[in-house]
Amino acid sequence: MGDYALLYILFAPFVGAIALIFVSNRQAMLVRGIAAGSAFICLLASLYLFYAYDHVKGGFQFVQKFEWSRQLGISLHLGVDGIGTPLVLASGILLFAGIFVSWHVKDRAKEFYIWLLILAAATIGVFMSLDLFFLYFFYEMSVIPMYLLLGMWGSHTKKYNEMTDPEGLKQRDSVGFIFNFGSNSKEYAAMKLVLFLSAFAVAAFMGILLIYKYSGLNTFDILILREHANLMNIPVLGTTLDKIIWLLIFFGFASIAPLWPLHSWSPVGHAAAPAATSMLHAGVLMKLGHFSIIRVAFEILPETTRELMPIAAVLCMFSIVYGGFVAYYAKDTKYVIGYSSSSHMGYVFLGMAALDYISLTGAVMYMFAHAMATGMLFAMAGWVYDQTHTRDIPSLGGLSNRMPFISGCFVIGCMASIGVPGTINFIAEVMIIVGSWNKYPFQVIVAVVGIVLTLAYLFKMMRGLFYGPMDQKYSHARDAVSAVDRLPLLIMITVSIGFFFFPMHLYNVVRSGVDPLIAKITRVVPVASETTGLRLEARGDNNTALADRSVPFDSAPVSGGRP
C-alpha cells in the first residue's frame, strides 16, 4: 500500500459509489456487498496509515500532489500529519460501522449507500487536503449528501406524523413533499442544515480568497502559505487584514463544529437523520470545523491565533452549559445525544483555546474518542427507534428485558461519553482540563460542571429507555442477535476501550502534529536534540514558562513520553 495509502482511503468510497450506480436495487446483497467492500478497503488503508505513520519523524507524510491548475496555483495536494491521521481513522471506522448499522435499509438502499459513501469520502478529503481550494471543495461536498440523506431517508421529529394540515388531512411522509418546511419535518431539518453550513462556509471562503490574494504567492498550497504568507501589516477598516481573515475563517468553520450560538442546526439534523448519517455527522462531520480552523487559522495565521483565540474560550462555556441543560430536559433520544454532542464540542474548543501542548493534544484525542462514543449511542438509538418506532423517552422503559445486548452496549456508550476511566475519552478529558487550567481556570470549572451534567442526562436517558416497567405494545421489540447487527457496536467499543489501555501510539502520533504547531504559535522553536530529535527553545519575552516546560522533553521523548 505504501505511499498510495491516502489515495486508497479517499477513492475507495468514491469507486464503491460509482460501482453501485450500475447495480439494481433488486440485487440487495450485491448492493450491500459493494458498499461493505469499499468501506472495508477504506478501513484497512486507514489502519495501515495510522500505524505506519512515523511519529518520530513527524510532519506531513504519505504526500501526493497532482497539479490541477498551474495558473491559479491549485493542486490536489494530499498529506496527513499527527492531527489528521487519527481523524482519517475515525472516518474509516464509522463508515464501515455505518454500512452495517444500515444493513436493513430497504427503501432505495442503493441510493442510500451511494450518498453515505460520498459523505464519508468528502469528510476524509478535508482531513487530507493540503490545498485550501480542495479543502473547501471537499468541505462543501459533504453538505449535498447530508441534505439528501436527511430529506429522503430521515424521519420527522416531535410527533410530526400525528399532526394534520389545515384541512384535517394527515401529513404524508413522502419525499414528494421536499418543500414541506414545517418546523418538525425532516425537510426543515435538511434545509436548515444546508442554509447554516453554506452561509457560514461562504464566510470561510472569503477568508481563503483574501489569503490567496494578499499573500502574493499565487497559490492555495497550505505548506507554502504557512511559511511565506505575511498578512499582518495591511490596514483594513480600522484593523489589520489578518484579524479580518482570522474571524472569517474561525466563525465560517465554527458553525459546523458547532460552536454556540451557531449550533441550532445540528441537534435538529441529528434528530432527523438516519442512524448511520447521525454517526458520521456527530463522529466526523462536526470535527471538520475544528480541524479546518487548526489547518488554516493555526497554520497560516499563528500570531493572530494567539491574539484572538480567547474568543473561543468564552463561547465554549456557553456550548458546554447550554447543550448540557437542553439535553437534560429533552425527551427525544436523538435530541439528547445531539445536544450532548454540541456540548462536548465545547471541550475541544477549550483545549484549542488554551494553546498548550497538553490541552491541544487532548482536544485532538477527544475528537477521535467522541467519534467512537457518539457513534455507539446513535447506532443504538437508531436500533431502538427501528424496533419501537418512537424516540419519546417517557413512553419507553423496561427495554433491557427485550434488548440485553443493546442495553449493555448502551451503558458502555454512556460511560465513554461521560469520560469514565476505561475509555479513551477519560484520558482526553483529563488532558484538556489539566492543559487548560493555568490559562483558563474558570472555563475548566465550567467544563467539570459540564461533565456532571453529562452524567445526569445520559443516566436519565438510559433509565428511561431500558429500566422500569415496559409498555406491552413494545413486547415485539427484539435484541441485536446477528453478527451483522452486533459487529458495528463491537468495533466501536473495542476501539474506545482498547485505546484506553494502549494509548501511547495515538498520543505520540497526535503529539507529533501538535508540538511544532504550538511551538510556532507561542514562538517556541523546535531544535534538534541528540537523544530525542526534538527540544523546545523559547524565543520572546512572554515564553519563560514554555521554556521551563520544554526541559522534560529531553528525558521524556515524544515517541515514548507519558501524557
Lowest mean pLDDT among 155-159, 207-211, 246-250, 273-277: 155-159
Residue 266: pLDDT band (50, 70, 90) is confident
Helix (H, G, I), strand (E, B) or coil at 75: strand
Residue 255: pLDDT band (50, 70, 90) is confident
pLDDT of 548 higher than 60: no
User: What are 223-226's contacts with CB under 8 Å, separation 24+?
Assistant: 223/60, 223/77, 223/130, 225/132, 225/299, 225/300, 226/299, 226/300
Does residue 394 fall inside a structural domain?
Answer: yes
Strand partners, 525: 537
> d(Cα 35, Cα 129) in Å, to the nearest integer?
24
Q: What is the mean pLDDT of residues 399-421?
A: 88
Whole-prediction pTM:
0.84
The pLDDT assigned to 543 comes to 39
Does residue 285 fall inside a structural domain?
Answer: no
pLDDT of 474 higher than 90: no
Sign of CA dihedral 424, 429, 432, 435: negative
Helices marked H in 438-503 — which ranges?
A: 441-466, 483-501
How much of the chain exceeds pLDDT 90, in percent? 26
CA 50 to chain centre: 17
The pLDDT assigned to 237 comes to 56
Does residue 476 fall inside a structural domain?
Answer: yes
Does residue 31 fall inside a structural domain?
Answer: no
Integer-rounded Cα radius of gyration of the chain: 23
Same domain, yes or no: 326 and 455? yes
The secondary structure of residue 170, as a DSSP letter, is B
Does residue 480 fall inside a structural domain?
Answer: yes
Same domain, yes or no: 315 and 457? yes
pLDDT of 102 higher than 90: no
The count of other CB atoms within 10 Å of the CB of residue 162 is: 10
Helices marked H in 60-108 — which ranges?
A: 84-101
Residue 547: pLDDT band (50, 70, 90) is very low
The pLDDT assigned to 165 comes to 45
pLDDT in tens, 324-356: 888 888 888 888 888 888 888 889 999 999 888
pLDDT in tens, 205-231: 999 998 888 887 888 988 888 887 666
Same domain, yes or no: 340 and 463? yes
Residue 561: pLDDT band (50, 70, 90) is very low
Q: What is the mean pLDDT of residues 185-214?
A: 82
Same domain, yes or no: 557 and 460? no
Number of domains observed in the structure of the chain = 2
pLDDT of 167 higher than 90: no
> d(Cα 64, Cα 4) in Å, to the nearest integer?
8
Does residue 556 fall inside a structural domain?
Answer: yes
What are the residues whose beta carbons fall under 8 Å from the beta carbon of 188, sequence distance 6 or more?
A: 180, 181, 182, 268
Same domain, yes or no: 324 and 439? yes
pLDDT of 121 higher than 50: yes
pLDDT in tens, 151-160: 777 676 655 4
CA 53 to chain centre: 21
Give the burial string for 471-497 (b: 16+ CB within 10 Å, else e). eeebeebebbeeeebbbbbebbbebbb
pLDDT of 96 higher than 90: yes
Does residue 365 fall inside a structural domain?
Answer: yes
The pLDDT assigned to 554 comes to 34
What are the residues whose beta carbons fall under 8 Å from the beta carbon of 521, sequence distance 6 or more?
A: 298, 302, 303, 305, 306, 355
Same domain, yes or no: 545 and 513? no
The pLDDT assigned to 285 comes to 86
pLDDT of 422 higher than 70: yes
Same domain, yes or no: 405 and 352? yes
The pLDDT assigned to 50 comes to 93
Same domain, yes or no: 528 and 518? no
Lowest mean pLDDT among 381-395, 405-419, 436-450: 381-395
Residue 539: pLDDT band (50, 70, 90) is very low
> d(Cα 476, Cα 473) in Å, to the nearest integer?
7
Q: Cell digits for 108?
A: 432505495
Whole domain around residue 429: which residue ranges?
309-522
The pLDDT assigned to 542 comes to 39
Phi first, then psi, for residue 528 (nearest 5°) are -65, 145
pLDDT of 535 higher than 60: no
The pLDDT assigned to 182 comes to 47
pLDDT of 138 higher than 60: yes
Same domain, yes or no: 375 and 465? yes
What are the residues whose beta carbons fall under 8 Å from the beta carbon of 116, sequence distance 6 or more?
A: 35, 95, 98, 99, 102, 145, 149, 276, 277, 280
Q: What mean pLDDT, rounded, does the chain reach?
A: 81
pLDDT of 120 higher than 50: yes
The pLDDT assigned to 94 comes to 93
> d(Cα 469, Cα 291) in Å, to the nearest integer?
44
Does residue 516 fall inside a structural domain?
Answer: yes
Closest Cα to residue 159, out of 271, 278, 267? 271
Same domain, yes or no: 401 and 377? yes
Same domain, yes or no: 388 and 536? no
pLDDT in tens, 10-56: 999 999 999 999 988 888 889 899 999 999 999 999 999 999 998 88
Phi first, then psi, for residue 449 (nearest 5°) are -60, -40
> d(Cα 471, Cα 481) in Å, to the nearest integer?
22
Same domain, yes or no: 441 and 487? yes
Q: Cell digits for 277?
A: 448519517
> d(Cα 430, Cα 437) in Å, to the nearest integer?
11
Closest Cα to residue 3, out of 39, 57, 56, 48? 48
Which of 139-153, 181-195, 482-496 shows the highest mean pLDDT? Answer: 482-496
